[in-house]
Structures are given as C-alpha cells and as structure tokens.
Structure 1
C-alpha cells in the first residue's frame, strides 16, 4: 500500500505540471501561477490540519531543540520550481526532466546511506546499485529514446550556448534539493507528530518566498485583464495536487527512506506524464504511448523491486 501511495503521489505531480503551465499562460506569468498554486495548497492543507483535530505542538520548543534546516523544505521547493521555469528555455524539455532526476536519485541514495537529516542509516547493497542504474536506464528509455527526434532538435538549438554546462550542473543540483526537501519534510513531520503540519509549514514558507519574488519581478499580483470567474475550476487545482504530493512524501520518507520515496515518486511522475499526454488531459497536446515508453516503464517497475529487496 505504501508503494502505491508513492507512485500515486508522483502521478499527481505529473498532473500538476500541465495545470500550472496553463494557469501561467492565463495569468501571463509562470511566477504568478506558482504563487497561486502555493497559496491554494497552503489553505487546502490548513483546512485538513484543523479539521483533523491534530494535537498542537509548541513550535518554539521544536525550533529551539532542533537544527535550523528543519524549516527550509518550503524554500527548497520554491528553488526547485523556479529553477524549472528558468531552465526550460535554456536546456529544453528533455534535459529539464532528466537532469534533475539524476540529482534526486543520487541524493536520495546518499541520504539513506549516511543517515543525513536524521534519517535511519541504510545499507547500499550491490542489488540496490543495480536497481538504481536500472531506474536511470528506464527513465532514459521512457523519456530520451521515446523522444529521440525532439532530443536531436533541442541539441542543435542548445549547442551554441556557452553556458549550457553551468545550467546542466545547476539542474542536477536542484534535483538534489528536491530530494533533500522530501527528507526535511519527513523529519519535520516526525518532530511535529503531524505530517499535515509539516506540509503546511513547507507550503506556507514557500508561499511567502514566491510572493516576495512576484512582487519584485511582476509588480502586480494579478493581471488587470484576467477575470477569475471566467476560468475553469480545474485551472486552480494544481496547488491541491502539489499539496497532496508534499503530504504523501513527508508521510513516506520516515517509513520507506528518502531513496525509495524518491524512486517511487519519480516513477509515478514519469508514468503520469505519459498518461496525461496519451489522453490530452488539461488541454495538453496528445501524444500516443509508444512501445519504447512501455519498455522504459517496465524497467522502472523492475528497479523498484530490486531496490526494495536489495
């Protein structure tokens, strides 16, 4: 059941991306889209937290008796989200997907192996290494090989950029930030005795950061010409999907470890993006599933089994 939750969390995140992209087009700014998404997610999580009647924990005691980094999950989430917006025109769609994944997988393994962020120390076995390599291979097949013509086109466009390698290194680094965020949120949830409380703090701090960025760059929170009442309801559900993803991963990290949680969420995200494209959900461009993508998904499923039993 826990493994299904991890896959489903990634699937939800894959649906959030086209919704937020469409919202960014409507609001004439991807930053405004991120702000609205974070805000909706924050209120959604706060509602769940208060309705659930969970015991209140003294945040001052938690802050004074624990390291400073437990509060930085939201900031890392904003860095990851904003970096993806900036990287897309610099790296193209394929590299923007693949390079952060490499960082996420590597950092997830490092966190588990060395017990970083107060996570339980795990053993890095040969079977797990094979599973990790198989996961990366499956992602490569499902994303790169399945879109080989797009890869060739992007390569011609990007070769002239002398700063391309700097952006590639940054992409891997922000992927590592994403894995760290999941570990931090999991630890904070343990300290607060509330996974929902951890997610609320992560989203709220992220909302504050992105609000400052929007005010500095866009000057206006909302375009004058856009009327919210004329937009479809689903356009504002991206924040809820993101909130459920953060909640799920914070719940899973203490139980499965950072490495397995990252593996499951990434696999679910790749599968979800393929399903979204197959059916053209959220007014996205339809793309039929290919045999190569199915092979890539099969490799990812096999990698999960190896990492679990390794």
Structure 2
C-alpha cells in the first residue's frame, strides 16, 4: 500500500511538470527569453518551497554543522537541475523535436537503473533481475510508441527535424546527441541526490528548497550572461495570473521526488514521473491548456502509456 502511494505521488509529480512546461513557455513569450522565464520560475518555486519548509520543519537553511559534516555532492541537485534545464533550451534547435524528447528520457531511464542497481547517492540497492530487464525493455518500447511514433507519423515534424539535423555536420550532431543522453542522466542524478538530501535533513521540504534555491542562483547567472538584462516591469504586467504558477508546479515536482526516492528508489520515481509527464502533456495538448496549441490524443499515444505501465509492473511487482 505504501508503495502504491509513492508511485501515485511520482505520477502526480510528472503531471505537475507537464503543466509547468507550457506555462513557462508562455512566460517566455512575455519576457522574451527562456532563461529569464526559467529564472522567474525558479524564484517563485524557491519562495514557495522556503515557506513550505518554514511551516513543516521550522527552518529553511541548513546549519553550519550539517554542512561541514556531510559530503559536498549532496548540494549538487540544484546545479544538475539548472544544467538540465539550460541544455533543453539548447538542444531543440540542434536536434529537433523527437530527439530532444527521447534522448534525455533514455538517459534518465538508464541512469535511474544504474543508481538503483549499485545503490548510488544513498539509495537502497536493488538487484538487476531478469524481470527488471524485461520491464525496462517494455518501458522503453512504451516511450517509443507514446512519444516517438506519433511524431514520426507527423510529416511536418519529421521534415522539420530532418532539416535541422542536415544543417549540422555528423560529428557535431553526434556530440549533441551524446549530450542529450547525458543531460538525462543528470536529471536522474538530481532526483536521487535531492531525495538523499531530504532524508539526511529529515525535512523533505527543506531539501527541496535548497535544491531549487541553488538552481535559481545558477539559472539567474546564466540569464544575466546571455540576456544581459532583468525583466522589465512593463513586461511582467502583461503576464497572466497563471503565468506565475510555473515555479510552484516545479517546486511540487521536486518536493514529490524528494519524498518518493527514499521510499521506492530513483528508478521507479523517475519512471512514474515520466509516465505522468507524458499523460499530462497529452491532456495539455488535448484541451489546449495554458494557451498551448491543441492536438487531439490518438490511440497510439494511449497504447504507449499502457505499455509503459506494463513495464512498471514487470519492474516492481513481478
């Protein structure tokens, strides 16, 4: 029963992240920069998680004794999250829609499996059994069916991706493809590290805040370096009230991951989060939420999600 609760929590976290993406994309149109939009989102998420931490644990920042008595890598979650977010902005114009989505997902699944198998970052060690291997293969097949196949069948997307990739030399393209997979591994490591930090602090909300706050500092530095400006008040006044929700949804995603990783492991937390993201993205497109373009959900996408769920059953319950 406890396992099901945290599987559901991870699924919900992925759904929150799927809604955050179009909200931040709309904010990008308002402020004219993906980096400034991300910095605003991180700021709001940090404030939200800071308040949550103060309410739940009566503290926000860790003590000096805690900092000095723990390894430096436990603070890397926010750094990896900022690198992952920045990389996603850079990948699309170089790889196209399909590879920008699928390659990081493969990196997440691969690293999540490695983390659980060897017990890295303080997670419980889970043997790589035959059923887990079968489950992973089924899971990846589901991702391909749900994410890749609909885009391949869309001739406009396929033509756009082909044109983008032909503009790069093969060595450069290969480099970006490798980087895309690597950014996925960073995302998986981030979730595992954040989960361990929350467990060490015995305060998941505080661990989530620290990760988000570090990410805010780094993405703000990147925004200032790239755009060399702060958002204008006139720009911010044009934002819709829901444009400010992106940071809160991102904060909820991190908080749910911090709660789930110590209970069900990094691999399953990441997997259920991915299913939640895909289902959430399908609903966002179906109903055109957050001023996103409408696109009807088709049977292939639903089949892919079902196949992914079957993979989870093999990984956890067989």
Q: Which among 90, 97, 100 is matched to residue 86 of structure 1?
A: 90
Distance in 2 (CA, whole Å) between partners of 1:57 and 1:219 is 29
> Are residue 275 (structure 1) and residue 279 (structure 2) matched?
no
Residue of structure 2 in register with 1:106 after alignment: 110
Residue of structure 2 in register with 1:263 after alignment: 271
Residue of structure 2 in register with 1:284 after alignment: 292
Q: Which among 156, 159, 162 is matched to residue 166 of structure 2?
A: 159
Q: Tell me the number of residue pairs that the alignment of Structure 1 and Structure 2 aligns.
A: 309
Residue of structure 1 in register with 2:207 after alignment: 198
Residue 94 of structure 1: how far off its partner (Å): 1.4
Do the aligned residues in 1 keep the contact of 2:56 with 2:205 (CA within 8 Å)? no
Quickly say closer, same or farther: Cα 1:215–1:152, change in 2 above 3 A. Answer: closer
List gaps (5 residues or longer) in structure 2: none
TM, length-normalised to structure 2? 0.94
> Are residue 95 (structure 1) and residue 99 (structure 2) matched?
yes
What's the C-alpha RMSD, in Å, of the aligned pairs? Answer: 1.4
Do the aligned residues in 1 keep the contact of 2:57 with 2:203 (CA within 8 Å)? no
Distance in 1 (CA, whole Å) between partners of 2:230 and 2:22 is 21
Do the aligned residues in 2 keep the contact of 1:277 with 1:286 (CA within 8 Å)? yes
Show the 5 A alignment for 1:55-94.
59-94=63-98
Deviations 1:85-122 (A, max 9, x none): 01111111211110000000000000000011121111
Residue of structure 2 in register with 1:144 after alignment: 148
Residue of structure 1 in register with 2:255 after alignment: 247
Do the aligned residues in 1 keep the contact of 2:46 with 2:212 (CA within 8 Å)? yes
> Are residue 233 (structure 1) and residue 237 (structure 2) matched?
no
Residue of structure 1 in register with 2:217 after alignment: 208
Residue 271 of structure 1: how far off its partner (Å): 0.9
Residue 159 of structure 1: how far off its partner (Å): 2.5
Do the aligned residues in 2 keep the contact of 1:62 with 1:191 (CA within 8 Å)? no
Residue 152 of structure 1: how far off its partner (Å): 4.5
Distance in 2 (CA, whole Å) between partners of 1:212 and 1:152 is 36
> Are residue 132 (structure 1) and residue 136 (structure 2) matched?
yes
TM, length-normalised to structure 1? 0.96
Do the aligned residues in 1 keep the contact of 2:61 with 2:206 (CA within 8 Å)? no
Residue 25 of structure 1: how far off its partner (Å): 1.1
List gaps (5 residues or longer) in structure 1: none
Distance in 2 (CA, whole Å) between partners of 1:57 and 1:168 is 38
Give the SS at the match of 1:237: helix
Distance in 1 (CA, whole Å) between partners of 2:286 and 2:83 is 30
Distance in 2 (CA, whole Å) between partners of 1:134 and 1:262 is 15
Distance in 2 (CA, whole Å) between partners of 1:216 and 1:298 is 43
